[in-house]
């Protein structure tokens, strides 16, 4: 009897389990928060510093304080940044674990 070599299936992807719906929804919400160039720039700036005051962000981005606060709220609601109050100012910092989870979702 003659044997025939079997070629590997090219149509199938790697054997990676699918994300659970809740995890996929959470990831999508975080990526959606980063779908705005200003928010990406804010996260980039916050990642470079330990903490940044809202007043500093307003000056850097040449946007009004309410606009910056709106962007920060979207990022905070997505779990990408957190804040603390000192007097009348809020200081923001990135959440390293969340950024790490986003990077891990895109890493093979």
- The CATH architecture assigned to 21-106 reads Orthogonal Bundle (1.10)
Q: What is the pLDDT of residues 60-80, one digit of tens each?
A: 988 998 999 999 999 999 999
Q: Tell me the average pLDDT across 88-94.
A: 92
Element (H, E) at 101: helix 96-106
Res. 19: pLDDT tops 90: no
Res. 45: pLDDT tops 90: yes
Provide the greatest CA pair distance for the chain. 85
Res. 40: pLDDT tops 90: yes
Tell me how far apart the alpha carbons of residues 15 and 55 are, in angstroms, rounded to a whole number: 48
The full set of domain ranges for the chain reads 21-106
Using 50, 70 and 90 to split pLDDT, how confident is the model at 4?
A: confident
Residue 29 CB burial class (10 angstroms; 0-12, 13-18, ≥19): middle
pTM of structure: 0.80
């Amino acid at each position: 009897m003659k044997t025939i070599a079997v070629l590997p299936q090219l149509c199938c992807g790697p054997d990676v389990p699918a994300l659970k719906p809740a995890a996929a929804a959470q990831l999508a919400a975080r990526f959606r928060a980063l779908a705005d160039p200003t928010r990406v720039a804010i996260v980039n700036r916050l990642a470079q510093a330990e903490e940044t005051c809202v007043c500093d962000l307003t000056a850097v981005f040449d946007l009004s304080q309410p606009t910056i606060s709106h962007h920060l709220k979207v990022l905070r609601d997505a779990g990408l940044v957190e804040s603390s109050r000192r007097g009348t100012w809020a200081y923001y910092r990135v959440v390293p674990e969340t950024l790490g989870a986003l990077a891990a979702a895109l890493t093979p």
